[in-house]
Structure 1
Amino acid sequence: MTAARWVRLLVLALALGAVGVGAQAEQAQTSAPAYEPAVGQEGKDVVWVPTPQPLVDKMLDMAEVTPNDYVIDLGSGDGRTVITAAKRGARALGIEYNPDMVALARKNAEREGVAGEAEFVKADLFESDFSRATVITMFLLPDINARLMDKILSLKPGTRIVSNTFPMGDWEPDATARLDSSDGCTGTYCTALLWIVPARVAGTHRVPQGELSLRQPYQKLSGTLRSEGQIVPVEGKVLGERIFLTASGRELHGKMNGKALELN
């Protein structure tokens, strides 16, 4: 055998071997099983347990999600909450640390026909920007909710926050709904909690009724109204920018307009 022929045979053998390796790799990739998350699997901060679909629907109902909203789901998992919000016409973003979950959620959104409205990113909740949200949904543990609370309270007044089952520190919810098997929700996690980010109204305000001094732990208000030489106790609440007060049996309603309190 000549040297030239030997070289040609070697090159041919290497080429055939490369084709075989490529085919094997392609076959392995094609036959690789699709990613399927397991209930209870470990995550960065929590284990994954999906929110039952009836509760997803209830959470979005309580937040009164419309096509005008921008929904951000914290720890979006398989994407069901984001996808449901997108089906209601809202723009929606899921923040998830597990890249396999992010890829799965994107596939689910594409299958459901809302890939253009449902976005998913791989990110850390504590390093993410929520400021565009009008609605935030979550299914996180109480200590995670508590760590996020200051960030959430700094959002625009009126932003709606909905949690599956778990509270947010000592910030009492504005509404609670519990589902059961008659609603199609079974198991432990069938409670929805709603908060509305309150405007900051603590302080002293000059209003048509007199001088109003308010204290404010979260959405609860208390204080005094000084009018015509009399001081009467005041109590009430703030929902977003809307204010509801009672002063000696008299109902007073108003809103925060920037830093000015308008009361009537």
Structure 2
Amino acid sequence: MIRIEPPPSPSPRRAFLAGTGALALGGLLASPVPRAQQPPAGTYAPTRGQAGKDVIWIPSPDALVTRMLRLAQVTPEDYVIDLGSGDGKIVIAAAREGARGLGIEYNTDLVELSRLHAQQAQVAARARFEKADIFESDFSRATVVTMYLLPHLNLRLRPRIMALRPGTRVVSHEFRMGLWRPDETSRVGAASVHLWLVPANAGGDWDLSFPHAGGRSTVRMSLRQAFQDLSGTVAFKDFETGLREARVAGEQVRFGFIDEAGHLRRFEGRVAGNRIAGTVHDLTAGTRAPFSALRTGDMPPIEGAGPAPENEAERLSSE
């Protein structure tokens, strides 16, 4: 394939502000294509900064692409969908690690170039590319979503991303998704890579049951969820207490509190629909045991899962 080595340039944020629209992921494979597999003379070659429907095209460095895949912990079991796939670099790199993938790209020339690169890398059976609008495409099959888009486009996509299967990994080059804080951020040179885990819905009222004093205690727990963050209370007979370290990571949930006996308990479990099951650690007594919880009312929507408020987009655009 054609190897493009752009000259040193300003940081991605300053580069974006110098143009219009968003960036599309593109560029090179994680490992350079051997010279013998270079495309024939006259093959279409994208130009750094070229305009598209919603994007300008700027290639991502090899080290950054590798970190994106590592941060998402891509395995051969994954289905990777790249939103704005450019010349196919992300999808092809994932396919070379055994995963399957789909690149969604609006530019027909880039789609054809991506298919050529996939053939040269001998991964065409696992790396597909289609000409489509990312805002009209179905990417619900993805276990990993990658993107390199401007903040206002990330916000526009956020409701659909939040609706993906809990545990889906989302990795963005440089730009975040408003008030939805990343679960992890890496720095590669001057650039940032952000990871989110699509959270399960743990909000609402629950009957929480766990071993206690030789028997079993069932208490009412009320949870409020904003993105992956939880807050709430547990009601005992004579008092109510708040939760500590409450958070959802994909399907996994954790929280803690001090019970009526003064024991600090930490709960770690898995959300499956209206049930939670897992292990409670009694950190005071040094024991652990199974616990369960059953949601007793409606499943409220996660705060932030709907369209971004207008003032959120305005605040981001002024940064």
Compute the TM-score of the two structures, normalised by the length of structure 2: 0.69
Q: How does 1:123-162 map to 2 (within 5 A)?
A: 123-162=132-171
Distance in 2 of aligned mates of 1:35 and 1:84 = 21
1:40 correspondence with 2:55: no
1:262 correspondence with 2:285: no
Alignment correspondent of 2:257 = 247
Q: How does 1:1-264 map to 2 (within 5 A)?
A: 33-180=42-189, 188=190, 190-209=191-210, 210-235=219-244, 236-248=246-258, 249-263=264-278, 264=291
Distance in 2 of aligned mates of 1:228 and 1:261 = 23
Report how far residue 260 of structure 1 moved.
Answer: 1.6
Structure with the largest fraction of strand = 2
Report how far residue 255 of structure 1 moved.
Answer: 1.5
Distance in 2 of aligned mates of 1:68 and 1:126 = 26
Distance in 1 of aligned mates of 2:236 and 2:71 = 38
Which stretch has the larger CA shift, 46-55 or 89-98?
46-55
Structure with the largest fraction of helix = 1
Alignment correspondent of 1:8 = none
Report how far residue 250 of structure 1 moved.
Answer: 2.7
Letter in 2 for 1:247: F
Letter in 2 for 1:41: Q
Letter in 2 for 1:238: V
Which stretch has the larger CA shift, 225-234 or 215-224?
225-234
**Number of matched pairs:** 226
Distance in 1 of aligned mates of 2:155 and 2:59 = 21
Report how far residue 179 of structure 1 moved.
Answer: 1.3
* Cα-to-partner distance string for 1:54-99 (whole Å, 9 max, x where unaligned): 1111011011100110000000001010000001100000000000
* Cα-to-partner distance string for 1:118-172 (whole Å, 9 max, x where unaligned): 0000000011001100000001111111000000000000000000000012110
Instruction: Supply the RMSD in Å over aligned alpha carbons.
Output: 1.4
Letter in 2 for 1:193: H
Report how far residue 32 of structure 1 moved.
Answer: 8.1
Look up the SS of the partner of 1:47 in the other structure: strand
Which stretch has the larger CA shift, 244-253 or 42-51?
244-253
Would the alpha carbon gap of residues 51 and 32 (structure 1) be closer, same or farther in structure 2, given more than 3 Å must change?
Answer: closer
Higher Cα radius of gyration: 1
* Cα-to-partner distance string for 1:15-73 (whole Å, 9 max, x where unaligned): xxxxxxxxxxxxxxxx9822110111101111111111111110110111001100000
Distance in 1 of aligned mates of 2:50 and 2:148 = 15
Letter in 1 for 2:161: I
Report how far residue 177 of structure 1 moved.
Answer: 0.3
Report how far residue 194 of structure 1 moved.
Answer: 0.1
Compute the TM-score of the two structures, normalised by the length of structure 1: 0.83
Report how far residue 240 of structure 1 moved.
Answer: 0.8
Structure 1, gaps ≥5 residues long:
1-30, 181-187
